Amino acid sequence: MPPQLPQFPARVHAAFVLLFAVTPDAAVAPGSQPLGLQAIPDEITESYHGRLDAMQQRLLGEPYLRTRRLTRTAVGRLVLHGPAGDPPHADIHLVIHKSGAAVWEVWLTAPTQTLDADRWIGWLDLEREGSIAHRVWRTLNSPGPGHPTYPEMMLPLAVLRAEDLALGELVALHGYDLVKLLHRDDTGERFKAKFVSDELAADFCRREEGLSLLARNGAIDVHGCMPGSDSVELPHNTLPLLVTLELLCLERAVLRSFLNRFRQGIYGTVEDLMQLRRDIFDGLEEYYGTLAKTHGYTAEATTLGERLFGINDLFDAVGERLEALTFEITTRNQQAVSRIGMWLTTSFGAIETGFVAASIATWYYRTNLLAVLGWTFGVAIGTAFLISRVLRSRMKV
Same domain membership, residue 161 and residue 22 = yes
Among the three residues 219, 235, 251, which one is the final residue of a domain in this structure?
Answer: 235
Closest by CA position to 152, among listed 348, 335, 20, 350: 20
How would residue 100 be classed by pLDDT, with cut points 50, 70 and 90?
A: confident
Q: 48 pLDDT exceeds 80?
A: yes
Crossing angle of helices 296-308 and 311-364, in 10° steps, is: 70
Please identify, among 235, 251, 270, the residue that sits at the C-terminal boundary of a domain.
Answer: 235
pTM reported for the whole predicted model: 0.77
Whether 56 is covered by a domain: the verdict is: yes
SS3 content of the chain, % helix, strand, coil (to 5): 55, 15, 30
Both 67 and 188 in one domain: the answer is yes
Mean of the pLDDT values across residues 32-57?
85
Q: Is the sign of the CA dihedral 192, 195, 201, 204 positive or negative?
A: negative
- Domain assignment present for residue 308? The answer is no
Determine, yes or no, domain membership for 259: no
Q: According to the model, what pLDDT value does residue 396 have?
A: 47
pLDDT 10s digits, 119-134: 999 999 999 988 999 9
Can you give the pLDDT at residue 381? 61
Q: Which of 69-78, 94-103, 360-369 has the lowest mean pLDDT?
A: 360-369
Of 19-23, 39-43, 200-204, 257-261, the poorest mean pLDDT is in 257-261
C-alpha pair distances (Å), 137 with each of 39, 132, 157: 18, 9, 16
pLDDT at 90 over 80: yes
The model's confidence at residue 47, banded by pLDDT at 50, 70 and 90, is: confident
CA 376, 380, 381, 386 torsion: positive or negative?
A: positive
Domain that holds residue 343: 332-396
The number of domains in the chain is: 2
pLDDT grade for 262, boundaries at 50, 70 and 90: confident
Domain contains 370:
yes
Question: What pLDDT does 336 receive?
Answer: 57
Mean pLDDT of the 234-260 span:
84
Coil, helix or strand at residue 181: helix
pLDDT digits (tens, 9 = 90+) for 308-337: 888 888 878 877 776 666 656 666 656 555
Residue 303 has pLDDT above 80, yes or no: yes
Residue 299, pLDDT above cutoff 70:
yes
Do residues 165 and 51 both lie within one domain?
yes
Give pLDDT, residue 375.
47
Domain contains 29 = yes
Q: Are residues 212 and 346 in the same domain?
A: no
